[in-house]
Structure 1
């Protein structure tokens, strides 16, 4: 069973639908609905950390979930979840030059398995005003950046099964969102 940790985001159940399209059972829990101990007792195969309106440090058990599971359980962070992974491993959370709420961007990516069968550049939908920066010497690998301002849009850890994407794969404005989710389902 996969666990989708809901950070009180309006896109959570659309993201759930995308995750279910992979053929895997996925259950949603809010970030204050259970403890990390209770979550561990569920023995999740994978954890997805949803977007949300706050910062990672204000997102319930989000940072504690990363602390507990990052070495053993594949984690996908989306938007706020991406920011949480970046912060946990030592990246810097910064304000973007201007809010990117409901804005599309062209993104270039490398040949990481997360992007199999996805063109580069690709169009993605963004809903954020914070981003991860300065990931040098953190163990994080940059996977994708925006074409126009080089904002980090995806990352992975070089050792642990952790991947973050800043944009929203579940948005209709992201052309290859389901493919990205399918690719993540095949990793690790």
Structure 2
């Protein structure tokens, strides 16, 4: 099962639908619907079969994102694969002590060229690809601790677009792999499912575009304790 922490963002359900399209068992919880002890209990309960955590985009800063930062720490403590997207990546950075600062310029609904190291969740991606950006905050690379490395940068303004833990299966991207403006995004999500051992990642490898697939999870399906 993949646990998705929903930071009250419409893009969350593109992520959910993409993961479900690959056959993943997905449970969604709002960032304030349960406490961090409940996330820890889920991670420690073998009957839950929790294989990975995704922290969604959303408004505001990591401090405003409920259980997001704490969920990063739970994943780190237990060696669970984690993917943070946009605010999710910022939450990952904040969990390890990095600073989140104002972006050089506000970027909403634009595609930028991204270059990267070709490793981890970025393995198999073209050396440069276009990716959707919707953000006004960024990770300050000067404040990243040694255990987090920069994996991707935007070419136009040299903003951090990806980070990875050097020893744990934790990775974040500032861009939106679930957006139609990120044609290579499904492959990144497939890499995450391969890392987590959940679903059939190959279903996403050749996919492109958004995942507004009928019959999959919709925002109204999310209840206080989460939804499958």
Q: TM-score, normalised by structure 1?
A: 0.94
After superposition, where does 1:31-180 map in structure 2 within 5 Å? Answer: 31-43=31-43, 44-72=50-78, 73-133=80-140, 134-180=142-188
Quickly say closer, same or farther: Cα 1:132–1:42, change in 2 above 3 A: same
Structure 2 unaligned blocks of 5 or more: 44-49, 197-228
Could you give the per-residue CA deviations for residues 89-137 of structure 1, whole angstroms, max 9, x where no partner exists? 1222111111111011000011203122211210000000001022454
Question: If each structure's helix is expressed as a fraction of its own residues, which one has the higher value?
Answer: 2
The answer (yes or no) to whether the contact 1:156–1:163 under 8 Å persists in 2 is yes
Give the root-mean-square deviation of aligned CA atoms: 1.4
* 1:26 matched to 2:33: no
SS of equivalent to 2:161: strand
Aligned length, in residue pairs: 188
SS of equivalent to 1:143: strand
The answer for the alignment partner of 2:213 in structure 1 is none
Question: If each structure's strand is expressed as a fraction of its own residues, which one has the higher value?
Answer: 1
4+ aligned runs moved over 4 Å, structure 1: none
Which of 1 and 2 has higher RCO (CA within 8 Å, sep 6+)? 2
Q: Distance in 2 between matches of 1:161 and 1:63?
A: 16
The answer (yes or no) to whether the contact 1:86–1:132 under 8 Å persists in 2 is yes
Q: TM-score, normalised by structure 2?
A: 0.78
Structure 1 unaligned blocks of 5 or more: none
